[in-house]
Amino acid sequence: MKFIDLNSMSDEERLFTIKDNFKGKYIEASKKHPEILSLIKLNKNSRANPLNEIALEGVWGLNLILKYNKKINYLVVCPDYIMTAEAQSLINSSYDKGAKLFFVSKKTYDFLSEEKNPQGIITVFFMNEGRFECIDQSKPLVVLDGLEIHGNIGTILRTLDALAIYDVVFINRKVRINHPKLVRSSLGSFLNMNIIDTNFDELYSYLMDNGYTIYLTDTDAKAIYMDTEYKDKACFVIGSEKYGISLPWYEKRYEMIKIPMRGDCDSLNVSIATSIILYDYMMRYKR
């Protein structure tokens, strides 16, 4: 089906056109519909999530979900906000891939939306679990140990994506990986990541079995990151800004690196520090 932009139409004409284009494909849903209630609980993190569902709002998000071939459960669509041929085409592609379509009123959508300028689409899809066997050992492995702020984690994931580093491991996890704040702050970068959620012992065994050198980012280190001659397989451990890196790392084999601080502050924001160290590593060793 060929879709057209609807900006020039009146609200009534646009609503009729969208519903006609998707006639027989969607279900009208209120705030009390089971799937809508499920979405509300998913966003509030107030229900179990054994299938690892994630809700992502916007046309840009659906574009990425389709690009990376994620399995979509359903779309919540507000016809009042659908303006472009692109949005309609993405909705149709999702339906063709087996997604259910729920059309809701503007009032219901506004209740669900967290955007200032809604685009009328919320996608609920399934995120694959990361696996050790999928790790690209030609690139550094990044470990996030006990990080607590969604925005910082999302920004780190954006940095990794910019450097084409797609493997990241969480230990002592303090956040919900599929939290909307993390999703938005990563600008969808997490969709292309092999994200592994595990414990220290399992991770350390993998690192030793595969010949990694562990680099702890620690303000007490003597070695400066830019002067460090890294070994072939590098694992960078990033600790929380509040508590630092967890103690078990210091009982094993490791090297420590730091970013020199010339002023009164003794540390940088964790996402900025991670960007500095990883960009230096990639430019020196992998460019």
Which residues, in sequence order, are CB contacts of 74 under 8 Å at separation 6+?
35, 99, 100, 101, 102, 124
Q: Which H or E element spans position 86?
A: helix 85-96
Cα distance between residue 158 and residue 39, in whole Å: 26
Indicate if the pLDDT at residue 49 is higher than 90. Answer: no
pLDDT of residue 41 exceeding 70:
yes
143 phi/psi in degrees, rounded to 5: -115, 125
pLDDT per position as a tens digit, 245-275: 999 999 999 999 999 988 877 778 999 999 9
Residue 50 pLDDT: 64
For 125-160, the pLDDT digits (tens) are 998 889 999 999 999 999 999 999 999 999 999 999
* pLDDT computed for residue 261 by the predictor: 87
pLDDT tens digits, 185-221: 898 888 889 999 999 999 999 999 999 999 999 999 9
Average pLDDT over residues 41-65: 86
| Nearest CA-CA partner of 144 in 241, 223, 64, 25 | 241
Give 268's contacts (C-beta < 8 A, 6+ positions apart). Answer: 259, 261, 276
**CA dist., res. 120 & res. 100, Å (int):** 15
Does pLDDT of 287 surpass 70? no
The reported pLDDT for the residue numbered 68 is 92
Over 90: is that where the pLDDT of 230 sits? yes
Question: Considering only CA atoms, which of 18, 29, 93, 36 is closest in space to residue 59?
Answer: 93
For residue 100, the model assigns a pLDDT of 98
Write out the E strands in the chain.
26-28, 53-57, 71-77, 100-103, 121-126, 141-145, 167-171, 194-197, 213-217, 234-239, 255-257
Give the model's pLDDT for residue 95: 98
Instruction: State yes or no: pLDDT of 177 exceeds 90.
Output: no
For all residues of the chain together, what is the average pLDDT?
93
Rounded to an integer, the average pLDDT of 69-93 is: 96
- Say if CB 54 and CB 81 are below 8 A apart: no
pLDDT in tens, 83-92: 999 999 999 9
Weakest mean pLDDT among 69-73, 140-144, 232-236, 265-269: 265-269
What pLDDT is attached to residue 257? 97
pTM of the model: 0.86
Q: Which of 101, 123, 117 shows the shortest CA–CA distance to 183? A: 123
Confidence of residue 241 (pLDDT cuts 50, 70, 90): confident
